[in-house]
Amino acid sequence: MIEQVRIAITIFEYTHPGCVGIFVFDRSSTHKGFAEDALNVNSINLHPGGKQKKLRNTIIPWNNPDLVTGDEDTWGKVQYMCFPEDHENPQLQGQPKGIKAVLEERVSIWAEYNRICKAHGTKVLKKCAKCTKSQVLKDAERRVEKLEEMDHQGEIPSAEELMAAEAIAPSAPPDKWCCMYRILSLQEDFLTEKPIIQSIIEEAGHVCLFLLRFRCKLNAIEMLWGYAKHRV
């Protein structure tokens, strides 16, 4: 898929020099994939090392809470998502940092989370119950993927199927400070991470758009295929 996108960009730029292309995709799960090193909170463990991906380096957001007097100003600084190769602890050399270490380096956000936990008498959590997907929700998401597949093939889901898909959509936890997982997922750099095909297209200077769910009639390729089938 990624190679096809790159080829399509090359062809477009050759046939339309100096123009900006608009690439449109449906909401298929294959179009929403992130790069291996993308800032994805689901790719990080709580603690350093172990079986987790090595994410790309990032910039600590400027919109984090105000600093407490005496704390280090980390806003706008480069954050390395892996420990240096010469780290004093040999077991951590070159290893990914994990959620807790990443948040601790974002001094103001970590201090604010600890202050809120202390004020409410709660523990610092990696992932609260509301942010942990149950097996029921996982099964529900597979049903949504099935509907996406039907949409891609031009099939029309029934009203009952659409209602079921909307009913199982996960609701966001009301408290953004509920756990470390939630806090990091809402950090600006993690929140604005883009799918890999969108990054490739935009880095080439073009526009990437995603269609609404279950609206195959908005997809131009469906009309083209329909016309081709009619002619045949």
pLDDT in tens, 133-188: 655 565 666 666 666 666 555 555 565 555 555 555 555 545 788 899 999 999 99
Q: Is the pLDDT of residue 97 over 90?
A: yes
pLDDT tens-digit readout, 44-79: 898 998 889 999 999 999 888 877 666 677 888 999
The span from the first CA to the last CA of the chain, in angstroms, equals 27
In Å, how far are 11, 34, 108, 181, 208 from 132, measured between CA atoms?
44, 21, 25, 10, 31
pLDDT tens-digit readout, 74-95: 888 999 999 999 999 999 999 9
pLDDT at residue 132, as a whole number: 78
Q: Is residue 8 within 8 Å of 23, Cβ to Cβ?
A: yes
Q: How far apart are CA 209 and CA 187, in angstroms?
A: 23
Of 148, 46, 39, 154, give the one whose Cα is nearest residue 103: 46
pLDDT at residue 161, as a whole number: 58
The mean of the pLDDT values for the chain is 82
The confidence band for 30, taking pLDDT boundaries of 50, 70 and 90, is confident
pLDDT at residue 129, as a whole number: 80
Q: Is residue 52 within 8 Å of 94, Cβ to Cβ?
A: no
The confidence band for 216, taking pLDDT boundaries of 50, 70 and 90, is low
Residue bearing the bigger pLDDT, 231 or 225: 231
What pTM does this model have?
0.68
Residue bearing the bigger pLDDT, 116 or 74: 116
Handedness of CA 63, 64, 66, 71 (dihedral sign): negative
List residues bridging with 59 in a β-sheet.
Answer: 78
